[in-house]
Amino acid sequence: MGEGPLVLKLFLVVAVVAIAAMLLVALYGARAPLPQGVVNDAGYRIRKLWLGLVLVVAAAAFVLTLPFFPYPWAQASPGARHFEVTAAQYAFVMPAVVPANVPIVFDVTSQDVNHGFGIYAPDGRLFAQVQAMPDYVNHLPIEFHKKGHYVVRCLEFCGIGHAYMHGGFDVR
Ligand SMILES: [Cu+2]
């Protein structure tokens, strides 16, 4: 196949395979048609086999990944201090300072519509986030090891002022 570009080689391979497939279908279609019963039996056999294969793969994936399920370890330590956060269009009411290197819990709610409570570390990366929902308090257990100013941004489109909805706190 010479020194042609890779795309041309790929095209030729695909074209040959496609032509072979079409010839195969044409030859197969020229034979006398099989009775419907035979076709059904073969189809159902393949379907059962496929279902079994999918079930085995799903069960294996479930069992193998279960140890990595994070929720059993996501509990706040019993002595953690709680800080209330209330979101509303278009601001956050929250503490100005939270302590570093101790487990704390943000108790997050909303006064009006759904908001997102997204905490950004001093380096600008998203550090943690939880939904702020009306008539419901979400608990966000967290521990800060880096001191500095953390910016909070709303991560749920909540109205016309959403893009300007932010706040922040210091970790000391
Ligand atoms: Cu918002």
What pLDDT shows up at residue 29?
Answer: 82
Find the 95 Cα to ligand 1 centroid distance in Å.
19
Average predicted confidence (pLDDT) for the chain: 93
Q: Can you say whether residue 103 is alpha, beta or left, with left for phi > 0 and alpha for psi between -120 and 50 degrees?
A: beta
Q: How far is the CA of 105 from the centre of ligand 1 (A)?
A: 22
Q: How far is CA 10 from CA 5, 7, 13, 23, 27, in A?
A: 9, 5, 5, 20, 26
Residue 28 predicted with pLDDT over 90: no
Residue 142's nearest CA partner among 49, 80, 55 is 80
Centre of ligand 1 from the C-alpha of residue 148, in Å: 24
CA 152 – ligand 1 centroid, Å: 11
pLDDT in the model for residue 31: 82
Residues of the chain with CATH 2.60.40.420: 81-171
Q: Does residue 1 surpass a pLDDT of 80?
A: no
Is the pTM higher than 0.85?
A: no
Q: How far is the CA of 150 from the centre of ligand 1 (A)?
A: 18
Confidence (pLDDT) at 72 = 74
Q: Which amino acid is at 48?
A: K
The pLDDT value recorded for residue 73 is: 73
Average pLDDT over residues 106-121: 97
Please give the distance, rounded to the nearest whole angstrom, from the Cα atom of residue 63 to the centre of ligand 1: 38
* 30 alpha carbon – ligand 1 mean position (Å): 63
- What is the 132 CA–ligand 1 centroid distance (Å)? 10
Q: 138 C-alpha to center of ligand 1: Å?
A: 17
pLDDT for the residue 165: 96
Which pLDDT value is given to residue 70? 78
Q: Label residue 3 by pLDDT band (50, 70, 90).
A: low
Q: What is the model's pLDDT at position 61?
A: 97
Average confidence (pLDDT) over 17-35: 90
Tell me the per-residue pLDDT of 44-85, one tens digit each, with 9 for 90 and over: 999 999 999 999 999 999 999 998 887 777 666 788 999 999
Output Rg (C-alpha) for the chain, integer angstroms. Answer: 29
CA distance linking residue 44 with residue 119, whole number of Å: 53
Residue 22, classed as helix, strand or coil, is helix
Q: Which amino acid type is present at position 57?
A: V
Separation in Å, CA 90 to CA 24, 74, 85, 149, 164: 65, 29, 13, 20, 7
The pLDDT of residue 2 is 56
Across the range 23-35, mean pLDDT stands at 87
For residue 79, the model assigns a pLDDT of 86
Q: How far is the CA of 114 from the centre of ligand 1 (A)?
A: 8
Task: Please tell me the distance between residue 37's alpha carbon and the centre of ligand 1 in angstroms.
Answer: 59
What's the CA-to-centroid distance between 74 and ligand 1, angstroms? 26
Of the candidate CATH numbers 2.60.40.420, 3.40.50.300, 3.40.50.720, 3.40.350.10, the domain formed by 81-171 belongs to 2.60.40.420
Asked whether 119 and 141 are in contact (CB, 8 A), the reply is no
